[in-house]
Amino acid sequence: MKRLLTLFLTVMFVAVFAANGNAPKYIFLFIGDGMATPQRMVADEFARHAGHDRLIINQMPYHGTTRTGSANSLVTDSAASGTAIACGEKTYNGAIGIANDKKRHLESIAYVAKKNGRKVGIVTTVTINHATPAAFYAHRTNRSQYYEIGLDLIKSGFDYFAGGGVAMSDNKKSKEYQGDINDLARKAGYKVISRESEFKALKQGNGKVLINANIPYAIDTPENAVFTLANLTAKGIEMLDNSKGFFMMVEGGKIDHAGHANDAAANLREVLAFDDAVRVAVDFAKKHPEETLIVVTGDHETGGMTMGFAATGYAMYMERLAHQKCSAGMLGGIVKKAKAEKLKKEKKDLSYEDIYQLLNKYYGFIFDEKSKSPMKLSAADKEKIKKAIDKGNLPNTARLIMASKAGIGWSTGAHTALPVLTTATGKNAEKFSGFYENTEISNRLKEMFK
């Protein structure tokens, strides 16, 4: 009996020791907001036709299918799904780090990593106190409590925050108002920066950082832009790397925005920009192959994107999306600016022909009836364009025509209940295979620290 007890205690000791040493030194969790299988495949097909490298996120050796429903709805929002992924527990739509009872605070994998000696980074292309990033550090009953979430950001003490600034940072109407979040962050020891020169000058050892960057849609971003998701990720690695390792959550937040807008060309370029950021982590992992885990997932699907459209039958033409040079939102601004300039110079409004020229330049649409280009518009499409110009709804019509030419359909401007694809590579990556709830991502990561 004594021998059996000794054997049991020995086995338990070995198991506990093994578990405690099982957490990768470096953990990356990439979340494509609004990105499910359709978004990944459309971007992959576009990359293939355009001669780019295939998506690295689709080449990872371990694949899982992840359910996204919240505690109170089959169709989740980013707050509930972000909380599920971050904290490992389902909650209601709108909740940030709060249990379904609206009282109990949930612990995110970011906090678990910090308790275990890791540095922590939170990176996004949208505002840093938006729902998904907030789920990793905040505890609020409503995602719209932006100022209060900003207070939680500072309270977290996480080492590296980077994204599109802090929304409502100086909301004096808040009952918890204490001053501008950026000023409070400085007082708490954060280096708050917004200039590209300051960003480039950042070096390891500069302490805690809060980066407020202007990050437009990838399709609208200049070629040599400094503030990109890939660059923010690379700088995060530089700032966080240390002997104990780090945890970094990186969100492609504007994938969701382009999905809500049903803007296929902008959407796929957001996925490509997201993939570029993952490549940065993969390159880092090549230097630390036995110490790094990279997990890539989505919080939900946005837009009901489908690969197939009645107008193109069984064919798809992803390469046609390359003709679109700006987001639908920016197209509206371009037309508005052109109108103002013509009114100032010639005292008259833009003609249909003037706008046709803009559509040719920025969307590649051909209005010449003799053209044999696949980008030539049909008589029906021309009529739609004219009506859209008259009603001031040109961007919306232009992006729908572009999607139909490529063979992409949309079922909604909101979220859907489609499951998402989760892929992983590196140490313990095999744990992310299978069919599971999104809560399992956090739970399986936390298990590595036990």
255 with 351, same domain: the answer is: no
What is the Cβ-side half-sphere exposure of residue 211, based on CA atoms within 13 angstroms? 34
399 with 256, same domain: the answer is: no
Tokens (6 digits) for 129: 């106190």
pLDDT of residue 52: 77
Residue 264 included in any domain: yes
292 with 370, same domain: the answer is: no
35 with 126, same domain: the answer is: yes
302 with 315, same domain: the answer is: no
Tokens (6 digits) for 397: 């019509």
Average pLDDT over residues 347-371: 95
Kind and range of the H or E run holding 209 = strand 209-212
pLDDT higher for 11 or 77?
Answer: 77
Residue 20 included in any domain: no
Residue 230 included in any domain: yes
101 with 69, same domain: the answer is: yes
Q: How far is CA 93 from CA 71, 76, 88, in A?
A: 8, 6, 15
Residue 104 included in any domain: yes
Residue 12: pLDDT over 50: no
Tens digit of each residue's pLDDT (9 = 90 or more) over 239-286: 999 999 999 999 999 999 999 999 999 999 999 999 999 999 999 999
The mean of the pLDDT values for the chain is 93
279 with 327, same domain: the answer is: no
- 85: how many CB neighbours lie within 10 A of its CB? 29
Residue 6: pLDDT over 60: no
Residue 5 included in any domain: no
As a dihedral over the C-alpha atoms of residue 319, residue 321, residue 326, residue 330, rounded to 10 degrees, the angle is 180
- DSSP symbol at 220: G
Could you tell me the pTM of the whole model?
A: 0.94
- The rounded Cα 448 to chain-centroid distance in angstroms is 25
69 with 112, same domain: the answer is: yes
CATH number at residue 279: 3.40.720.10
286 with 317, same domain: the answer is: no
Average pLDDT over residues 383-393: 95
- Whole-angstrom Cα distance, residue 22 to residue 27? 12
328 with 205, same domain: the answer is: no
- DSSP symbol at 303: S
- Please check whether residue 83 is in contact with residue 106, taking contact to mean a CB–CB distance below 8 angstroms: yes
- Whole-angstrom Cα distance, residue 194 to residue 434? 41
Q: Angle between the 394-406 and 352-363 helix axes, to the nearest 10 degrees?
A: 50
Average pLDDT over residues 407-428: 97
pLDDT of residue 312: 78
Range of the domain at 353: 310-405
Residue 410 included in any domain: no
* 344 Cβ neighbours under 8 A, 6+ residues apart: none
Residue 1 included in any domain: no
pLDDT of residue 21: 61
Tens digit of each residue's pLDDT (9 = 90 or more) over 52-96: 788 999 999 999 999 999 999 999 999 999 999 999 999 999 999
∠ CA 27-32-33 to the nearest 5 degrees? 125
- Please check whether residue 23 is in contact with residue 292, taking contact to mean a CB–CB distance below 8 angstroms: no
Structural domain count of the chain: 2
119 with 219, same domain: the answer is: yes
* 118 Cβ neighbours under 8 A, 6+ residues apart: 27, 244, 245, 246, 247
Residue type (1 letter), 378: S
Q: Which of 44-48, 123-127, 431-435 has the lowest mean pLDDT?
A: 44-48
184 with 298, same domain: the answer is: yes
Residue 7 included in any domain: no
